[in-house]
Every structure is written in C-alpha cells, then in structure tokens.
Amino acid sequence: MILEQKVAQQDNLIQRMKTGITGLDTILQGGIPQQSITLVSGPPGSGKSIFCFQFLYQGLKENEKVLYLTLDKKEDGLILQAKKLGIDFQESIEKGEAKFRYLNINKKLVYEAMSNEILSGQYQRIVLDSITPLSEMPMFIGNMENGNADYSFVDSEENTPSTSGPIRRRHLLFIMNALESSGSTAIITSELPMGSTNLSRDGISEFLADGVITLNFDPTMDRRKLSVMKMRNTKHTLKPQEIQITSGGITLQ
C-alpha cells in the first residue's frame, strides 16, 4: 500500500467529536479527535465560554454525558448565560446528563474535588473554563523528603506554597493527566490579555494540549476571528476564520 493510502486509512480510523459550531467541523476533518484536549484561548468577551456551551450542547444532542467545571463563575450565572443564547441545559441537568460544577480555588481540597469529578469516568465531554486561576494558584506538596512527589500529596497543610514556573507546570500536568485518564474529550480555556499574541496565559498549556484554537476580535473593524493553531492528527488551515456571535452562538462564515 502506498503511503498516501495508508495515511488516508489512518485518517478514517480517528474518531471525531462534532464541536457544535457551524462551519468549524468542516475545517477540522469532521471535528475534534476523540479523547483529546483542546485549548481555547482568547481575550475577555472573545467567546470562550460560548464555545464551551456549544461543545457540550452538541454532546447532549448525541446522548452523551457532559461536565462543565468552572473556577471563576457560579453555576447559575453560566446556565443563564447559555440560556440567553438559546442553549438550555436545565432539562439535561435535571436528568443527570449535564453537570455544572463551580470549584473554589481558595479551598485546599479543590484538587480532590476536581479529580473526583473528572475521573468519575462518566462524561464523554468535559470543559474546564478557565484553567488560568488554577495555573496561578500556589501548590502544596507534601512528603518531598522521601523524594516522593506524588500528586496525592497535593493539599497537605504542612508545606509551603509556591507559585514558581515549575510549579505552574505541575499544576497543568496534573490536570492534563487527569483529563487524559478520564477518556473524555476535553476543552480547557485560557484567558489572554487584550492584544496578546500568546497562545495561553501560562505559556505552557499550548504545548501540553493536543489542539489549540484561538479566538480574537478587531474592535475597530467590528470583526471576530477564530484560528486553529494546532490539532493533532488533523489536516487544517492556519488561516484565521471570520466568525460571528449571534443569539444562536458562534458560527463560521
């Protein structure tokens, strides 16, 4: 078999999840690869949360179970925000098909709560909106004297917190590993300052994630853009795509 045929065959074997965003799946060979982690980053108001709503809602349409983890806003506000865009999660929440969970990063047990949710293994789609507060919080690591830096020692009260670069990487690795082990397809978001050309706030997530999508806008031209910067196992354009946010959510033009 010639190489091109082999590649085409492998392409067909990759299972993809539809994003629920009109036009995006077409430029992603059908959607995001199953069991991957995609980083969606952009400045405030660029549509990161709306992207997440649409991704989860698509899962519900396909009879999947979905989880929305948030570190910034309380569940009710997000559910209401989605409802205003015509995305009503209420019924699915009542039926146990969708779960919104606010995690307070000021609580020491945030890691345990988060891992328990992620690793419960019941969700096909998971959103973590956003990862930024988590990557900036101090980490508590215990029992280092044995050379044992197991993540189960996170949350130990006796040790000193640190916010250094390597610690930020450990935070992100911990969460990425949990998402990977869960077998879910995940979206994590990162908050970028206005005008930033970085791919994430922490400068690390873009290397750990399987895919990177950036959202941006040009206020003077009143235009919004979406760019697929990286998507493993996917042939895609790097060209920024014009998008619109309307009462139906994000659409590619």
Ligand X SMILES: Nc1ncnc2c1ncn2[C@@H]1O[C@H](COP(=O)(O)OP(=O)(O)OP(=O)(O)O)[C@@H](O)[C@H]1O
DSSP E strands in 6-149: the ranges are 16-17, 32-33, 37-42, 66-70, 98-102, 125-129
Which of 41, 46, 49, 54 contacts Mg ion by CB under 5 A? 49
Looking up tokens 């919004």 gives 224
Q: Is 184 in the site for ligand X (CB under 6 A)?
A: no
Q: Give the nearest distance from C-beta 81 to ligand X in angstroms.
A: 6
* C-alpha–C-alpha distance, residues 136 and 202, integer Å: 8
Q: Is 185 in the site for ligand X (CB under 6 A)?
A: no
Q: Which residues between 39 and 78 bind ligand X (CB under 6 A)?
A: 42, 44-50
* C-alpha–C-alpha distance, residues 193 and 197, integer Å: 9
Identify which of residues 70 and 185 has a Cβ nearer to ligand X in the complex.
Answer: 70
Number of residues engaging ligand X in binding (CB under 6 A): 13
DSSP E strands in 3-134: the ranges are 16-17, 32-33, 37-42, 66-70, 98-102, 125-129
What residue 200 binds from Mg ion, ligand X, none (CB within 5 to 8 A, per partner kind)?
none
Q: Give the nearest distance from C-beta 48 to Mg ion in angstroms.
A: 5
Identify which of residues 75 and 180 has a Cβ nearer to ligand X in the complex.
Answer: 75
Please state, as a whole number, how many other Cβ atoms lie within 10 Å of the Cβ of residue 8: 11
Identify which of residues 45 and 133 has a Cβ nearer to ligand X in the complex.
Answer: 45
DSSP E strands in 114-169: the ranges are 125-129
Question: Footprint of ligand X on this chain (CB under 6 A)?
Answer: 42, 44-50, 85, 191, 245-247
